[in-house]
């Protein structure tokens, strides 16, 4: 069964600190892995997309890593800001035809950054 | 270039009524996807449409739910005879390329349905 598991479920850190969110998946065959940020009451916004051949990708203070062998990804947030408080969703895409149900969403990690 | 537009943002219905959720994709995008998000849960795929065609509706309940993406106008997700379990946030996403596995997806802000 295609699954995406994220940990921790929730996390509280102090402003300015770093943190790392984890994502393990069993989706196969693998096409790409995406990290989204979802603010409360808003739609998800893409942070990074990584294909099989990419090990790391950065977007400002966000750095995502991918180990396709162990089927693990992480999202590292550097020098956290209050505005980083949100849910971070790991989404894995299955390589297939153009059918719609190719994305498997993780349950998300709820991050709260406190001053 | 406006993003994905969804309306209404909030909708309250009584059990048995109908709910219609609308989604206008980004300019130039002809692929639309609908997802449902229950409180404290992840997004679940419902349906994938292109203009005038339903490509994949495997995630949509067979009864009471329907979706369309006409040649002109927004995509519509229609829920008939709503029940309390339909209360959720419904997100629309659009892409320029075919298939979720290739194209960047852009999400709307969602429509939050509350069934009393």
Mean pLDDT across chain A, nearest whole number? 91
Closest approach of A57 to chain B, Cα-based (Å): 16
Q: Do A43 and B55 make contact, defined as CB atoms within 8 angstroms? A: no
Q: Do B58 and A100 make contact, defined as CB atoms within 8 angstroms? A: yes
**What residues of A are in contact with residue B93 (Cβ under 8 Å)?**
43
Judge contact between A11 and A109, C-beta under 8 A. yes
**What residues of B are in contact with residue A93 (Cβ under 8 Å)?**
100-101
Please report the pLDDT score of residue B103 as a whole number.
66
Confidence of residue A95 (pLDDT cuts 50, 70, 90): confident
Q: Do A100 and B45 make contact, defined as CB atoms within 8 angstroms? A: yes
Nearest residue in B to A103, CA atom: B100
Of A36, A42, A100, which is closest to B55 when you measure between CB atoms?
A100
Confidence of residue B21 (pLDDT cuts 50, 70, 90): very high
Per residue in A32-59, pLDDT tens?
A: 899 999 999 899 999 999 988 899 999 9
Judge contact between B78 and B109, C-beta under 8 A. no
Please report the pLDDT score of residue A31 as a whole number.
86
Q: Give the torsion through C-alpha atoms of A51, A53, A59, A64, to 10 deg.
A: 90
> Which residues are paired to B48 by β-bridges?
B33, B56
Which tops the pLDDT comparison, A97 or B109? Answer: B109
Indicate whether A13 pLDDT > 90. yes
> Rounded to an integer, what is the distance from CA A30 to the centroid of its chain?
15
Q: Show which of residues 31-70 on chain A sit within 8 Å of chain B, judged by CB atoms.
A: 31-32, 36, 41-46, 49
Mean pLDDT of B89-113: 83
Percent of chain A clearing pLDDT 70 (strictly above):
94
d(CA A58, CA B24): 30
> Rounded to an integer, what is the distance from CA A111 to the centroid of its chain?
12
**What residues of A are in contact with residue B35 (Cβ under 8 Å)?**
105
Count the Cβ atoms, other than its own, within 10 Å of residue A77: 23
Q: Minimum mean pLDDT among A20-29, B35-44, B57-66: which range?
A: B35-44
d(CA A76, CA A72): 13
Collapsed DSSP state (helix, strand, coil) of residue A82:
helix
Neighbour-count burial of B31, counting CB atoms closer than 10 A to its CB (0-12 exposed, 13-18 middle, 19+ buried): buried
Please report the pLDDT score of residue A41 as a whole number.
87
Confidence of residue A98 (pLDDT cuts 50, 70, 90): low
Q: Which among B106, B108, B103, B99 is positioned nearest to B21, based on CA atoms?
A: B108
Place of tokens 């947030």: A77
What's the sign of the alpha-carbon dihedral B60, B63, B65, B70? positive
Please report the pLDDT score of residue B89 as a whole number.
96
**What residues of A are in contact with residue B90 (Cβ under 8 Å)?**
none
Please report the pLDDT score of residue A104 as a whole number.
86
- Establish if A88 touches chain B: CB-CB under 8 angstroms: no
Percent of chain B clearing pLDDT 90 (strictly above):
69
Count the Cβ atoms, other than its own, within 10 Å of residue B2: 8
Closest approach of A98 to chain B, Cα-based (Å): 4
Q: Do B104 and A100 make contact, defined as CB atoms within 8 angstroms? A: no
B63: CB partners within 8 A, 6+ apart: none
Of A32, A98, A107, which is closest to B55 when you measure between CB atoms?
A98
Percent of chain B clearing pLDDT 70 (strictly above):
94
Mean pLDDT of B74-87: 97
């Amino acid at each position: 069964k295609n699954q995406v598991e994220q940990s921790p479920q929730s996390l509280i850190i102090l402003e300015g600190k770093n943190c790392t969110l984890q994502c393990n998946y069993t989706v196969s065959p693998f096409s790409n892995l995406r990290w989204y940020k979802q603010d409360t009451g808003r739609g998800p916004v893409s942070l990074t997309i990584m294909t099989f051949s990419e090990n790391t990708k950065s977007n400002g203070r966000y750095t995502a890593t991918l180990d396709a062998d162990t089927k693990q990804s992480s999202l590292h947030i550097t020098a956290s800001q209050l505005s980083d408080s949100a849910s971070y969703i790991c989404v894995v895409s299955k390589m297939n035809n153009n059918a719609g149900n190719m994305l498997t969403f993780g349950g998300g990690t709820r991050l709260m950054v406190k001053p | 270039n406006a993003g994905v537009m969804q309306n209404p943002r909030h909708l309250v219905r009584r059990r048995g009524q109908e709910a219609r959720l609308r989604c206008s994709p980004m300019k130039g995008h002809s692929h639309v996807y609908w997802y449902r998000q229950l409180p404290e849960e992840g997004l679940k795929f419902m349906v994938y449409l292109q203009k005038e065609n339903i490509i994949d509706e495997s995630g949509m309940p067979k009864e009471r739910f329907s979706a369309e993406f006409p040649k002109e106008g927004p995509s519509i997700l229609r829920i008939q005879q709503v029940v309390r379990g339909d209360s959720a946030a419904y997100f629309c996403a659009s892409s320029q390329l075919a298939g979720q596995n290739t194209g960047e997806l852009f999400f709307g802000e969602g429509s939050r349905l509350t069934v009393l």
